[in-house]
Amino acid sequence: MNGARHIEAAAGDADCDLNIVNARVADLYRGVLVEGATVSIAGGAVVGVNDGLRAREEFDAGGRVLAPGFTDAHVHIESSLLSPAEYARLVCPRGTTSVVADPHEIANVLGYDGMSYMLRASEGLPVDVFLVAPSCVPATDFDTAGAAIYAADMHPWLRDPRVLGLGEVMNFPGVLARDRILLDKVALFREAGKAIDGHAPGLSGKDLSAYIAAGILSDHESTTAEEALEKVSKGMRVMLREGSAARDLENLTAAVTARNARRFMLCSDDRHPDDLLREGHVDRMLRLLVAKGVDPLDALAMASLVPAEHYGLRDRGAVAPGKRADLVLLEDLSSFKVATVWKDGKLVARDGRMAVAIEPRPVAVRDSVNIKWLKAEDFRIPKEGRRVRAITCAEGSLVTGELVVEPPVGPDGYCASDAGRDLARVYVIERHRGSGNIGSGYLHGLGMKRGAIGSTVSHDSHNMIVAGMDDESIFKAAKRLNKIGGGFVATLGDEVLAELPLPIGGLMSDRPAEDVVAALDRFSALFAAEGFANSEPLMTLAFMALPVIPKLKITDRGLVDVERFERVGLWVD
């Protein structure tokens, strides 16, 4: 941005590029609406508000609300299943002009190359994609990731202005245990004065204090108002999360008051493209907040000014001189329907559609599915006791439980699935190094009657995960995922019923968002026709291999009791 140009225009010595007139400006510093305002823009920045400046072009806001563009304070773009360019095309018309993306998912698959891909593929978009360096690659020692990133690898990122800090420190037991490798990463960004994001579900008391004392000053894992308030009281900024799998925002609004609102930000974390397309992004979060009684200007601050201040983005977050002209025109402060979006003073979206083209930007990445030759016998579970541990899952929650059951055993002496008791077999197949590791277990809560489903989206190491009711369907799902280079599949016997290839790291499509949503719709129709009790079984399945959120999870190395933070056997006795 050109400082001399801004000064000249702000002083009235040269015409501005644009005046937005007849606007109700959301002044987030004073917490008021400025009626009948004129906002002047030059060189991509706001240079005046009601300062009587001339401009070459005028836009009549028609009495609608002009606010700063929205920021998603913590998102994994990979979870949208879209490339960064396609992701921007979906969220920009919703008013999102900046996101802070943690490329934790693709980095766990492709390592340093994954971070490089996200930086290159997100350049020059009408949504500013900032990154934080993934802190947990691998996420834990309980599974096999595709790479390892250490503090020594991160020094170049400190010099990149688009890298704002260290991504969510998920391994909170490692922080409390003073794990040196992890603390080296924290110290690197702390000494550089950069943000360090947290991930501390259920952490409280002295453990929470110790975690914060390491320099970790944000968190997006609160699920109750009480948990959020304890974190706020100890100096954290709390992100209210509204994703696709984890929808915590409504439960947390009770924690927000007029006095503490500036300690909260908004984030989606993981949100699928069909939800982005149909429900919205940050605009949806704003609707939910206001419907729950949060003051609209406080809500807008959580969506713009607070994350800008948290991440040191001093050039955005408000409608004020010197700030980037990243602006949204809202029909009102209840629906938060976005009429117009400006990025750096240029009109980029209008009436829910992009007004400028986003050109495809293919960036080559290596193949990411590297699986040892599979045999049907790899998916047999021999009977080794009387009872097994089964993971219990629930739609809309990342937290799982544990159920101890007697598994059905077939005439061949191997364990089977049981639709009557909602017991599916589940397998995690290591896909990065061809090690041949396969973790086996049981899953209760999908409501699957027959066939199998599989995915290479399985947080956080993103090994292949397959759940099913019979040997042939399970084996077919694993083979098909291997053949298409990763993605989603549903099988019945030797037949593929639905699939969505995700060739970018086994996580993201190279197709337009509409094609991806259409494929997801086919899965949804199939699951409804098959009578799944869980309407989002693929999404639920994706989190069954996440050994950082309680209680029982499965990895390529077997079952993990996250509360005890140790591996446990499948057989109880």
Quote the pLDDT of residue 180: 95
- Give the pairing of strands 388-392 and 438-444: parallel
Phi-psi region at 419: left, alpha or beta (left = phi > 0; alpha = psi -120 to 50):
alpha
Predicted confidence at residue 535, as pLDDT, reads 85
Phi, psi at residue 283, to the nearest 5°? -60, -35
Pairwise CA distance, residues 87 & 89, whole Å = 5
Q: What is the pLDDT of residue 247?
A: 86
Residue with tokens 């499948």: 570
Neighbour count for residue 112 (Cβ, 10 Å): 16
Sheet with 218-219, side-by-side order of all strands: 218-219, 237-241, 264-267
Residues lower than pLDDT 70 in the chain:
1
- Identity at 561, one-letter amino acid code: D
Q: Which residues contact 452 (CB under 8 A, 6 or more apart)?
A: 466, 467, 468, 469, 470, 473, 474, 476, 477, 490, 491, 492
- Looking up tokens 């308030």 gives 229
In Å, what is the CA distance from 558 to each residue of 143, 376, 384?
8, 19, 15
CA 291, 296, 298, 299 dihedral sign is positive
Segments making up each domain of the chain, as ranges: 69-313, 376-568
**Which residue is listed with tokens 């996101």?**
99
Q: Cα 46 from chain centroid?
A: 30
Task: Determine the pLDDT at residue 34.
Answer: 98
Helix locations, 247-327, DSSP H: 249-252, 273-278, 282-291, 296-302, 305-310
Question: What is the rounded average pLDDT for all residues in the chain?
Answer: 95
Q: What is the pLDDT of residues 400-436, one digit of tens each?
A: 999 999 999 988 889 999 999 999 999 999 999 999 9
Domain 69-313, CATH class in plain words? alpha beta
How distant is the alpha carbon of residue 327 from its chain centre?
23
pTM of the model: 0.92
- Omega within 30 of 0 (cis) for the link into 248: no
* pLDDT value for 1: 65
Query: What angle in degrees, to the nearest 10, is found between the helix axes of 180-191 and 151-158?
Result: 10
